[in-house]
Amino acid sequence: MIGRHGGGSATASDPLLGKVLGMRYRIVEKVAKGGMATVYVAHDMRLDRIVAVKVMHRDLDEEGNFAERFVREGRSAAKLSHPNVVAVYDQDEDDGVAFLAMEYIEGHTLRDTIASQAPLGAAKALAYIEPILSAMSAAHAIGIVHRDIKPENVLITTGAASISQRVKVADFGLARVMTNNSNDATTGNLVGTVSYLAPELVTESKSGPRTDVYAAGVVLYELLTGRKPHSGPSPVDIAYKHVHEDVPPPSKAAPGIPRYVDALVARATARDPELRPADAGVLLRMVTRVMATLSAGIFDDPDLTADLALPTAGAPDRGAAAGNATDAPVRAHDESGAESTAVLPALGLPASGPSGPPPARPRPRRDRLPGGRPTFPRGRALLASAEPRRRKFSHSHPNPHSFESGGSHPERT
């Protein structure tokens, strides 16, 4: 039996415990709660199996149409079948409770792996990012953008022999549900996690495959270094850095990383989305070439470094040689670092920006307020990281599903 939050009577504190949703899923245990949803372990009485049930918060449906959008996006996510994706089994709405039934995962999150093992060597870091990109490329191929790639949404299962078989990406489609909410459209809210937000999400709320690519590049940086590329006293400051500062080369924080790996991270996290790989499939091909070079024992490869490097003004883009030969996708702040996905009302930005050096590379012109702080489109919001609460499970207890909430994590297995 999995432990409960609070240590008291969980039934008294959560009316869903013991309830049957959709005449099929008996809620057994509450395991995580965050800004978007609460995750439960449930018994599928029809097929006699354990599943994870994610219940979206009722207050997200203030205008009455969230459940309808949730149903539509649940159907879209269910079309995504891939060995590195947490499977969506069912979705329904029961007396105003919108929920998803999903694959039950035994294991832990990539956040736990980073906390216990990072910085990882380049080969091992890429071994984790490769199946993540494989899952993302399958999603991009059918028009699904994740919008919240981060270590908390990557699960590591127990039992499988290789890393590529153990990685599962969760929550495809949920961020899209949130950004399509009519209330969000009128207020300009953003959904995501501030440490992984692409610059164009911060400034224009534009999302697409390249925003997922940026987030994956940040995750790779974190695997290589054990830290996030940007930090600050508030989510606004961190978002400002994503817009105006390049992700630093991981070798600065973790010496011994090959220059072509630095170039790979720089390419994935280019502040100009047009300079990033077009989608996860293109980045996956770049990663495959880098992994082959590492496996061959080659530490210094000037040609590969040049192929991956961001093009300079007037110079041809050599990225095609490293992975852009075709645009067709491959189908296939607490100490822990955990961050929550959240939806917040629009934040007013102060006129003066954080102190620090000017941007390393010229950016497209944006209107600015006095003091250097850029003006953001009216009504745009930043995603704050809710203060995560953590609890531990015993080693014998599985992690039932994605912890986008940052609410709980199992002990590392």
From the candidates 148, 184, 212, 307, give the one annotated as an active-site residue: 148
Residue with tokens 């989510």, as numbered in its chain: 235
CA distance 259 to 359: 22
The HSE-up count of residue 402 (CA atoms within 13 Å, CB side) is 33
Residue with tokens 């039932």, as numbered in its chain: 400
148 as an active site residue: the answer is yes
Q: Does residue 28 sit in helix, strand or coil?
A: strand
Q: For residue 80, what are the CA distances in angstroms to 44, 50, 152, 369?
A: 21, 21, 20, 44
Among candidate residues 109, 111, 169, 110, the one with its CA nearest the CA of residue 145: 169
CA distance 25 to 20: 5
Q: For residue 184, what are the CA distances in angstroms to 179, 248, 294, 365?
A: 6, 33, 45, 27
Q: What are phi and psi of 220, to 5 degrees?
A: -60, -45
- Give me the active site residues, please: 148
